[in-house]
């Protein structure tokens, strides 16, 4: 009897084992990650593009959030100790901020008007001394060459007059945007102070039901981080302003206050702001007093920046936002590259808030003392889905106890007792959730 040859094809290997496809598993995993990362990058790029198109609205709202976390303690003080209503306390807190800003601008303006004429005369004298040094110093330039250079500079200004005029018109347009943005920021700040929780409830209500509570708890922690950043940055900016302002008072007493205010405002941009404003202070002292005093002023600026960089930023700001100094530097650089001064200003608080929120959503709570008892009110109920379902079950259990045995079977067979209908009740308008 002749043996028959088995011509059946062998069974294919189970999927997922090596050798089933010509593409290795590592390459397929890399491809899967790649297209997902491309989609995420495209979504981020689209979001950044939309923000740049709406920057006249987005930037004032961001400023309003910073002002809100700054003025919330003031509003609570007015409401608790002065017995003001919530609306009146919100308006009083905003007016207090405007009064402080107006006072700073008034004092700085008076100081500038008083010291500008002396600074102008000193600048003219310094320029004349510089031209004399060019003529009599080691360069040996005669007055004819210097005059020729000055004439060329004047001719360049005349030839580029159209560009200068268009730049002035662009600056006027930018000033109009700044005024409009300031009005939007003040308007939003008042209503954030007055109805901030109601606005947040509306935002959370747009999310899916199961995500609302976690997003609310993450948002609470993000606001705490933003408040800590704002107050810490005010303290750091005040130290910079006082240090550089006191140093400038020894050389240019009439401009010490304006320079201090300039340093205070510029210090809200970490690292970059202090360097730029400190350079301006050194330049003013150079024009007013000379090289020796300018070098002394440079030493004062460097000392203040060293105190900020090695004491204030690591201990205060690092504790407030939990970001490494290297991360702060990279975030500021990326923000300035993407959106200029505005990006550098908001880069650190945005990164700090995102860090806190993302860590919480991944299970790491930076502020466990806040707890999770605070519940957001969304469409009339502060209860999360789990609590709503539990209450529905308790209600059904009470109905079972009160009704006779014959009716219990009908209740047990009723879909009201099931968790699916409890969830449907949550989604219904005017229901538990």
Contact criterion met (CB below 8 Å) for 361 and 219? no
Contact criterion met (CB below 8 Å) for 119 and 288? yes
**Any idea which of 19-23, 74-78, 366-370 has the lowest mean pLDDT?**
19-23
Which residues, 6 or more positions from 418, have their beta carbon under 8 angstroms from its beta carbon? none
Which residues, 6 or more positions from 412, have their beta carbon under 8 angstroms from its beta carbon? 400
Taken in order 256, 257, 260, 265, is the CA torsion positive or negative? negative
Q: Smallest Cα–Cα separation from 216: which of 233, 204, 229, 202? A: 204
Q: What is the pLDDT of residue 129?
A: 62
DSSP 8: P
Is 403 a residue whose pLDDT tops 70? no
Q: Which residue has the higher pLDDT, 217 or 48?
A: 217
pLDDT in tens, 296-322: 988 998 888 888 777 776 677 767 777
Q: What is the pLDDT of residue 335?
A: 82
Is 404 a residue whose pLDDT tops 70? no
Q: Smallest Cα–Cα separation from 244: which of 292, 277, 270? A: 277
Q: What is the pLDDT of residue 425?
A: 41
Q: What is the pLDDT of residue 338?
A: 78
User: DSSP for 11-43?
Assistant: PPPPTTSTTSSSS-HHHHHHHHHHHHHHHHHHH
Q: Which residue has the higher pLDDT, 298 or 174?
A: 298
Structure token pair of residue 139: 């360069």
* Mean pLDDT confidence for 246-274: 82
Q: What is the pLDDT of residue 39?
A: 93
- Average pLDDT taken over every residue of the chain: 75
Contact criterion met (CB below 8 Å) for 242 and 260? yes
Contact criterion met (CB below 8 Å) for 393 and 417? yes
Q: What distance in Å separates the CA atoms of residue 280 and residue 62, rounded to the nearest whole number?
A: 28
Phi, psi of 381 (to 5 degrees): -140, 130
On the CB side of 380, how many CA atoms lie within 13 Å of its CA? 8
How many percent of the chain have pLDDT more than 90? 15
Token pair 């201090």 is found at: 260
Token pair 């090289």 is found at: 291
Q: What distance in Å separates the CA atoms of residue 402 and residue 399, rounded to the nearest whole number?
A: 5
Structure token pair of residue 155: 């001719």
Q: What distance in Å separates the CA atoms of residue 429 and residue 273, rounded to the nearest whole number?
A: 51
Structure token pair of residue 7: 């011509």
pLDDT in tens, 16-50: 455 456 778 888 888 889 999 999 999 988 988 88
Structure token pair of residue 178: 């700044």
* Mean pLDDT confidence for 118-130: 61
Is 408 a residue whose pLDDT tops 60? no
How many percent of the chain have pLDDT more than 70? 66
């Amino acid at each position: 009897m002749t043996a028959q040859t088995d011509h059946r094809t062998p069974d294919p290997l189970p999927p997922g084992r090596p050798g089933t496809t010509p593409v290795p598993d590592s390459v397929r995993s890399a491809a899967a990650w790649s297209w997902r990362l491309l989609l995420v990058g495209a979504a981020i790029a689209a979001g950044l593009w939309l923000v740049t198109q709406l920057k006249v609205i987005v930037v004032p709202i961001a400023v309003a959030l910073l002002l809100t976390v700054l003025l919330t303690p003031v509003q609570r003080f007015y409401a608790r100790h002065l017995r003001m209503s919530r609306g009146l306390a919100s308006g009083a807190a905003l007016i207090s901020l405007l009064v402080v800003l107006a006072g700073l601008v008034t004092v700085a303006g008076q100081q500038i008007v008083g010291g500008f004429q002396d600074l102008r005369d000193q600048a003219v004298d310094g320029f004349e001394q510089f031209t004399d040094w060019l003529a009599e110093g080691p360069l040996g330039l005669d007055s004819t060459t210097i005059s020729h250079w000055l004439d060329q500079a004047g001719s360049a200004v005349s030839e580029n007059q159209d560009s200068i005029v268009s730049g002035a018109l662009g600056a006027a347009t930018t000033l109009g945007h700044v005024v409009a943005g300031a009005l939007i920021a003040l308007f939003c700040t008042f209503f954030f102070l007055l109805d901030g929780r109601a606005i947040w409830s509306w935002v959370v209500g747009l999310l899916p039901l199961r995500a609302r509570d976690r997003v609310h708890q993450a948002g609470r922690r993000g606001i705490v981080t933003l408040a800590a950043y704002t107050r810490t940055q005010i303290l750091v900016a005040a130290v910079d302003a006082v240090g550089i302002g006191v140093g400038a008072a020894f050389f240019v007493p009439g401009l010490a206050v304006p320079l201090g205010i300039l340093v205070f405002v510029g210090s809200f941009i970490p690292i970059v702001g202090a360097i730029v404003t400190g350079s301006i202070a050194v330049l003013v002292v150079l024009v007013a007093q000379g090289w020796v005093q300018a070098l002394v002023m440079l030493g004062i600026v460097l000392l203040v920046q060293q105190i900020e960089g090695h004491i204030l930023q690591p201990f205060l700001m690092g504790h407030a936002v939990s970001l490494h100094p290297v991360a702060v530097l990279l975030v500021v650089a990326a923000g300035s590259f993407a959106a200029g001064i505005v990006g550098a200003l908001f880069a650190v608080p945005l990164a700090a808030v995102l860090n806190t929120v993302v860590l919480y959503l991944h299970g790491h709570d930076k502020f466990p003392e806040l707890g999770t008892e605070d519940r957001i009110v969304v469409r009339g109920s502060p209860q999360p889905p789990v609590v709503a379902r539990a209450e529905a079950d308790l209600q059904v259990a009470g109905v079972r106890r009160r009704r006779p045995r014959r009716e219990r079977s009908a209740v047990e067979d009723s879909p009201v007792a099931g968790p699916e209908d409890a969830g449907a009740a949550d989604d219904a308008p005017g229901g538990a959730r």
